[in-house]
Amino acid sequence: MNDAAATVVAQGLRKTFVGPDGNRFAAIDDVSLTVRAGELTALVGPDGAGKTTLIRMMAGLLKPDAGSLQVLGIDLTRDPQAVQDRISYMPQRFGLYEDLSVQENLTLYADLHGVPQAERRERFARMLEMTDLARFTERPAGKLSGGMKQKLGLACTLVRSPDLLILDEPSVGVDPLSRRDLWKIVQQLVHEEKLSVIVSTAYMDEAERCGQVFVFNRGRMLADGAPAKLRAWAHGVTFTARPPEAMPARELQARLIDRPELIIDAVPSGGSVRFIRRAGEDEKQLNEMLHDAPFAPRPEELEDAFMMLLRQAEDKDTKAAAKPAYEAPRVAAVSSNGANCQPVIVVRDLVRKFGDFMAVASTSFEVARGEIFGLLGPNGAGKTTTFRMLCGLLPATSGHLEVAGRNLRTARAEARGRIGYVSQKFALYGNLSVRENLEFFGGAYGLRGKALKARVAASLEQFDLEPSAQSGILPAGYKQRLAMATGLLHEPDILFLDEPTSGIDPLARRAFWRTITALAKSGVTIIVTTHFMEEAEYCDRIAIQDAGKVLALGTPHQVREQAGAASVMDMNSAFIAIVEQSRAQRETKGGAA
Amino acid sequence: MKTMRNFLDSLMKIMALVRKELLTILKDPSGRALLIGPALIQALLYGYGATYDLTNVPYAVHDQSRGAASTELLARLDGTGVFHRVATLTSSDQIAGMIDSGDALLVIGIPSDFETLRVSGQQAPLQVILDGRNSSTAGLASAYVSSIVAAYNQSLGGAPSVTIVRRAWFNANLESRWNIMPGLIAALSMLQTLMLAALSVAREREQGTFDQLLVTPLTPLQILIGKALPSILVGLIQSTIIFLIILFWFQIPMNGSVWLLYLGLLTFTVTSVGIGLSISAVALNMQQAMLYTFMLIMPLILLSGLLTPVRNMPEILQVATYANPLRFGIDTVRRVYLEGAGFSDVAYNFIPLVIVGAITLPLAAWLFRNRLA
Amino acid sequence: MNASGFTTRLVALTRKETRQMLRDRSNLVVGLLLPVALILLFGYGLSFDVKNARLTVVLEDSSPTARQTVVGLQGSPYLAPVWVRTMDEAERLIRAGKTDAILRVPGDFSRQLADGNGRVQLLLNGVDSNTASTIEGYVSGALSTPVLQQADRTGNKSARAATIVIVQRTWFNEAGESTWYLVPGLIVLVMTLIGAFLTSMLIAREWERGTLESLFVTPVRPLELVLAKLAPYVVIGAIDLIMCLLAAKYLFQVPMRGSLMLIIGSSLLYLMVSLALGLFISGAMRNQFAASQMALLASFMPAMMLSGFIFDLRNVPVVIQVVSQALPATHYMSIIKTLFMAGDIWPDILRSCGILTLYALMLVAATRRKLGKTLE
């Protein structure tokens, strides 16, 4: 009304919750913003920035403690229902009814939104086509893969054209292909229907596609503007360094990231390392550190600006942030030569069937000691099944499986003593304290007395954990650390990580991978699954699985080459290319037969 | 030496699990409340509420005779302290209203020729109309009236009569509370023990922590023991709460050995936990676990002899109760508590308990192992 | 426009709830099979009617008079007398739990009887107090008869003098069958169970699975959610009710003296109350674990123990009476027992139905508030 082009207008918005310590803290503190209509708007920020709280307030699910919030010209505190009648909202975990079929879910939401029958047919057809779910209309939603569920969730929110679409981290835990599809749908609708969309995300490449980006940290807004404007922050401080022959990119990255006084951020990419230096710092020191690695400027990206903003905010918050994020947890006790020839994981012709369904088809690979091995693939490709078999959680239908020199069929308990496991979801006891969790798992691994005390103390120190905090209400990044600490408590030879960084912000991801590279260096073998393709760059070797088959196996470089293009191609595109190639082949074969 | 160390190692791992289980229960405020609150409240509520004893029989009189005999008889009735006259009716039309509304449990009608018949040595009819909606209460009230009338008849002297000198062992005043409360020691604690055991694994499955537990070197047997011990402990704590309430609040005297009582309770609780863990191993999620538990709890309670004696049931159901640990749990507690029975007196109760336990516990372990598959 | 939106949404939500209910087989098991099992178990398993009570008779006086006195014990369908020689033996039996009572006829019984008053001793195992009292009643009934007969035969005039005989009529349940009052009570329990167990998970499950958050940000109104959740379970409850009524009439032959319409009407009213109570617990607890525990503790157990189902409320202390009057099950129990055994006693029925209606409205309103479209 007052501003027809604005969908959301917030003034001095504030929302507090009672924290774990019994004191109130502000999840959103004095936030004022205006969201323009007819375009994509991104909310970005690390864990605990307040994105979800803000989105829930916009959807009328939480009442602000102070300030005003207008959505579509309606005061939300006065008439939330009027807003809810006109917007569509997709929460982080969309509430699909898993026992209802795809069609029934769609029909339910169409009925609830009062979509007329005439309009409905066309809309359903379009949604099913866009989401590629037309083949599965009769399937119960619970039987869809994670990516398909997310697409169905989006379709359900879009059964009618809303005046405003709000998406809360729609791409968490979704593989690159489904993620691409999701964005295609959203962008198409913005383009065709002038849809206004607000989306929160942890992926900077997604934010880059938006017209306007708001950056949050700890309940406050750090910056806002078009991606180009934000990007300009990082102008002139972004570089790429090429590691010397035979040195994995992650080692160079580790060297860089361990010098926070010089380097804001570093991340391996396409065999090189992209980094951001601190402006105005001593040129000589930088040259000295990178004496064996030639580096050159590169164009800045939104992620660079985001990392700079966060580091700035962090520097202000904690003065003593100078120490490196993590230290190597174990003194390198194993010489890296020689030991490498001995594989610690041997998988030969591994098969797993569920009834008639072939989840994993004749898979073979070996993993050497101290290697970081990445298991990648779209949702429902069989990676989780493979992973669970490796951990001994699921017996194989046939094939040979050897972990830490023990046959998993015969010596499961024994083999389990030598592995550590960090699951996808936070799977520790939420109502126990950090120390209690560590002590329990230590005990379960047979540690006791002084040895247990010493290991717990060391883990607390190493992962910078507060022993008396209640585990269930830790921020996501800290939960992740606790899960890692638990997995490493008994100093295992092999560490299994199942999507360890899903839903975790870039800052915490960097710190996490710094620990992993240090562990690998000290001789621990790492098996990891992830949906962040850039994280595949940390791996020595990766395997890409789809439909139960291994499509590609080799170093990131080899895999990129297999995908067709040279090292310029990023891992994300390489992954999509490989999976699509194989799917196309399968289809032509199926068509011929 | 090596086996000793293995054993010790295994024991320590189990203790770590037990400690964790207890912590998860105790750290949760609602968990703590559920541990004590329901046992306490239910023991008090049902202790007072669950009684078959007549303490208050409201009655109405329609006395058309108003003679000495009827006055004397009614005085005896009022003198019991149990019968309370709520109305004196003037017409027989009023009887239906008194009974229908439930204002009176019984109406005593005395015909106008009552006195003359009695004096002339004929049988004088005393009319008693009872509300039969609760047949048990009606029966008791009727027996009560008969005994008063019989006593009155006898006081009039004359005919040789048989006097029954009643002596009730173990429960001198035949108070039904004495019968029901010791049964509650077993029944109430079983309710929650069973559910706790049934949900313990299902909850971990749903929260994803069970996988984390399974990748540790703990064997299924160790997990089973580690899961069973805390539930058994909780069950015994609840039993103790109810036991203490009965002993000190309701002051029902304990005649047997505390050790034997607890031996019985322990055996019974182990068996219930075995059933609970078997449910837990079968159920895929919490909802299923709860459902199966409910499905079991109902028949277990109904066929236990808690409310009505097992001997009143049809033969087939009596046979079915042999699989019901609660039946033997309740019987053991009652007999030890009230009768002061010794081990040899209740030993036969342990046999079915041990058999059910010996089936369910290994079954749960076996299901654990097979569920891993 | 608004009204038609209401119906469209209500129909859509009801269809959704119905589908979910039908697809989860466990719902149907609890909703339809458990009541059948309960009907059979309660109907046949629960009984206060002591039959073949184990009585051990120690006849120390072998005179014909003494034999004549106890002969009545054998004809009784309620008593299964066993004869032993010595008191020691009998006491052993009672201690081993092999007999419920001992009747001892002392050696000087016939002499005492000749003196005008014969004394026999009845020793009861009081642990099962109810059975013990019943046995006492049976025994006294069985003993007095031969004495009177004998007195008549000898023509003793004083026997006829001054005897008051009780002419007893038990209304509503002439034979004193306990199934007659247990079966109507069983209907109350089944209706309580359906409500508590089936609906106590409904809202908690949606909270746990995160589906409510998506539903909230649609034009759906909280009341529509509540009504849609109730609707399919009312149908299940109605089926259970019909099964119970059929079983009561044809299986257990309990009389139905009130009008069938009133029985059905008041039962549906209570069904609403109990479904709404389950929903309220579910909405208030927001997690399945706590909700199910609450449902068990707050509905089923009190309905069994404190509603007047088995235990007569006249005999309990005032505090407990207050608690039991606060239970909706108590009021329904009184309606249903009256309707089955007594008939249409209007003042009673109207009062209780009024209270139940109040409960239903209050609980639906309270649940609606619990679903107030906010995550706080």
What are the residues facing A472 on neighbouring strands? none
My answer on whether B236 and B307 are in the same domain is yes
Q: Let me know: does A378 contact A178? Beta carbons within 8 Å.
A: yes
My answer on whether C142 and C288 are in the same domain is no
Q: What DSSP state is assigned to residue C285?
A: H
- From residue B137, give the alpha-carbon distance in Å to each of B132, B352, C1, C248: 8, 35, 59, 21
Whether residue C165 is contained in a domain is answered as no
| Confidence at residue C3, expressed as pLDDT on a 0 to 100 scale | 57
Question: Nearest 5°: phi and psi at A278?
Answer: -75, 130
Q: Do C219 and A98 touch (CB under 8 A)?
A: no
My answer on whether C229 and C264 are in the same domain is yes
My answer on whether B80 and B196 are in the same domain is no
Strands A357-368 and A343-354 come out as antiparallel
Chains A and C: how many Cβ contacts under 8 Å? Answer: 89
The identity of residue B232, as a single letter, is I
Interface of A with C (CB under 8 A): 56, 59-63, 80-81, 84-85, 87-91, 93-100, 104, 107-109, 111-114, 140, 153, 156-157, 166
Nearest to A445 among B27, B217, B219 (CB): B217
Q: How long a stretch of residues is chain A?
A: 593
And the tokens for A253? 């990255």
Strands B57-63 and B106-110 come out as parallel
Q: What DSSP state is assigned to residue A213?
A: E
- The CATH code of domain A231-317 reads 3.30.70.100
| Distance in Å, alpha carbon of B277 to nearest chain C alpha carbon | 16
User: Could you tell me which of C22, C375, C59 has the C-alpha nearest to residue C217?
Assistant: C375
Domain membership of residue C266 as a residue range? 2-47+177-370
The DSSP element (H or E) to which A349 belongs, if any, is strand A343-354
With 0-12 / 13-18 / 19 or more C-beta atoms within 10 angstroms meaning exposed / middle / buried, residue B66 is exposed
CA distance A220 to A233: 19
Q: Do B132 and C171 touch (CB under 8 A)?
A: yes
| Distance in Å, alpha carbon of C222 to nearest chain A alpha carbon | 11
CA distance C198 to C194: 6
The DSSP element (H or E) to which B360 belongs, if any, is helix B343-372
The identity of residue B341, as a single letter, is A
Q: Do C170 and B142 touch (CB under 8 A)?
A: yes
User: Could you tell me which of A188, A163, A177, A11 has the C-alpha nearest to residue A72?
Assistant: A163
Query: What residues does each domain of chain A span?
Result: 6-230, 231-317, 427-491
Q: Let me know: does C186 contact C269? Beta carbons within 8 Å.
A: no
> Residue holding tokens 């006693």?
C345
My answer on whether C200 and C312 are in the same domain is yes
User: Could you tell me which of A478, A483, A509, A506 has the C-alpha nearest to residue A496?
Assistant: A483
State the number of CA atoms in the 13 A half-sphere of C70 facing the CB: 30
Residues of C in contact with A104 (CB under 8 A): 16, 19
- From residue C301, give the alpha-carbon distance in Å to each of A555, B113, B305, C89: 64, 51, 16, 42
| Confidence at residue C292, expressed as pLDDT on a 0 to 100 scale | 79
What is the ipTM for the molecules in this complex?
0.80
Q: Order of strands, edge to edge, in the sheet holding A541-546? A: A419-422, A494-498, A525-529, A372-376, A541-546, A549-554
| Distance in Å, alpha carbon of C53 to nearest chain B alpha carbon | 9
* Mean pLDDT computed over B147-164: 73
Please tell me if residue A297 touches chain B, with a CB cutoff of 8 Å: no
Domain tally for chain C?
2
> Residue holding tokens 């028949």?
B299
- Residue A26 C-alpha from the chain's centroid: 26
Residue C122, pLDDT > 70, answer: yes
Whether residue C167 is contained in a domain is answered as no
Give residues with Cβ within 8 angstroms of C65, minimum separation 6.
Answer: C109, C110, C113, C114, C150
- From residue A288, give the alpha-carbon distance in Å to each of A244, A252, A265, A285, A448: 14, 13, 18, 5, 47
* Mean pLDDT computed over C280-292: 83
Within chain C, how many helices (H) and strands (E) appear? 19, 5
My answer on whether B132 and B237 are in the same domain is no
CA distance A347 to A362: 10
CA distance C270 to A577: 63
Q: Do C160 and B122 touch (CB under 8 A)?
A: yes
Write down which chains contact chain A via at least 3 CB pairs under 8 A.
B, C
> Residue holding tokens 């295994």?
B10
My answer on whether B321 and B265 are in the same domain is yes
Residue of B nearest to C348 (CA): B101
Interface of B with A (CB under 8 A): 9, 12-13, 15-17, 19-20, 23-24, 27-28, 207-209, 211-219, 372-373
Q: Do C181 and B123 touch (CB under 8 A)?
A: no
Q: Do C176 and B313 touch (CB under 8 A)?
A: no
My answer on whether C109 and C208 are in the same domain is no
Whether residue B360 is contained in a domain is answered as yes
User: Could you tell me which of B120, B265, B107, B298 has the C-alpha nearest to residue B183?
Assistant: B265
CA distance A348 to A336: 25
Residue C172, pLDDT > 80, answer: no
Residue of A nearest to B9 (CA): A446
My answer on whether B292 and B335 are in the same domain is yes
Domain tally for chain B?
2
CA distance A110 to C12: 9
| Confidence at residue A318, expressed as pLDDT on a 0 to 100 scale | 59
Domain membership of residue B222 as a residue range? 22-50+175-372
Output the domain CATH number for residue C81.
3.40.1710.10
My answer on whether B37 and B183 are in the same domain is yes
My answer on whether C20 and C65 are in the same domain is no
Whether residue B5 is contained in a domain is answered as no
Give residues with Cβ within 8 angstroms of C155, minimum separation 6.
Answer: none
Residue B78, pLDDT > 60, answer: yes
Share of chain B above pLDDT 70, in %: 97
Least confident range of A345-354, A529-538, B131-140, B247-256: B131-140
Residue where a domain stops, chosen among C92, C127, C159 = C159
Q: Angle A518-A524-A529 (CA atoms, 0-180°, nearest 5)?
A: 85
My answer on whether B27 and B94 are in the same domain is no
> Right CATH number for A6-230 from 3.40.50.300, 2.70.98.60, 3.30.70.2740, 3.40.50.1000?
3.40.50.300
| Confidence at residue A20, expressed as pLDDT on a 0 to 100 scale | 64
Strands A272-277 and A238-241 come out as antiparallel
pLDDT tens-place string over residues B335-352? 899 888 888 888 889 999
My answer on whether B234 and B294 are in the same domain is yes
My answer on whether B180 and B144 are in the same domain is no
Residue of C nearest to A112 (CA): C9
Q: Do A393 and B218 touch (CB under 8 A)?
A: no
Q: How many CB atoms lie within 10 A of CB A59?
A: 28
Whether residue C131 is contained in a domain is answered as yes
Burial readout B24-36 (b: 16 or more C-beta within 10 A, e: otherwise): bbeebeebeebbe
Q: Order of strands, edge to edge, in the sheet holding A295-297? A: A263-269, A272-277, A238-241, A295-297
Output the domain CATH number for residue B83.
3.40.1710.10
Residue where a domain stops, chosen among C159, C190, C225 = C159
CA distance B373 to A353: 13
My answer on whether C222 and C335 are in the same domain is yes
pLDDT tens-place string over residues C173-216? 776 677 787 888 888 988 888 777 778 878 888 887 788 888 88
Within chain A, how many helices (H) and strands (E) appear? 20, 24
Whether residue C168 is contained in a domain is answered as no
| Distance in Å, alpha carbon of B355 to nearest chain C alpha carbon | 22
pLDDT by position in tens, chain A (length 593): 444 578 999 999 999 988 766 778 888 999 999 999 988 999 998 877 888 899 999 999 999 999 999 999 899 888 888 999 899 999 887 778 888 999 999 999 999 988 888 889 888 998 898 888 888 899 898 888 888 888 899 999 988 889 999 999 888 878 888 888 889 989 988 888 888 999 998 888 889 999 999 999 888 999 999 999 999 988 888 999 988 887 888 888 888 888 888 888 898 887 889 899 887 767 788 888 888 888 889 998 898 999 888 888 877 765 444 344 444 444 334 444 444 557 889 999 999 988 888 888 888 999 998 899 999 888 878 888 888 888 888 888 888 888 877 776 666 777 788 889 988 777 888 888 999 999 999 998 888 889 999 999 999 988 888 888 888 878 777 888 899 899 999 889 999 998 888 777 777 888 888 889 888 888 899 999 988 888 888 999 999 988 888 888 998 888 888 887 655 567 888 888 888 888 888 877 765 54
Residue of C nearest to B203 (CA): C289
My answer on whether C316 and C345 are in the same domain is yes
Q: Let me know: does B289 contact B199? Beta carbons within 8 Å.
A: yes
Q: Let me know: does C39 contact C247? Beta carbons within 8 Å.
A: yes
Please tell me if residue C260 touches chain A, with a CB cutoff of 8 Å: no
My answer on whether B228 and B320 are in the same domain is yes
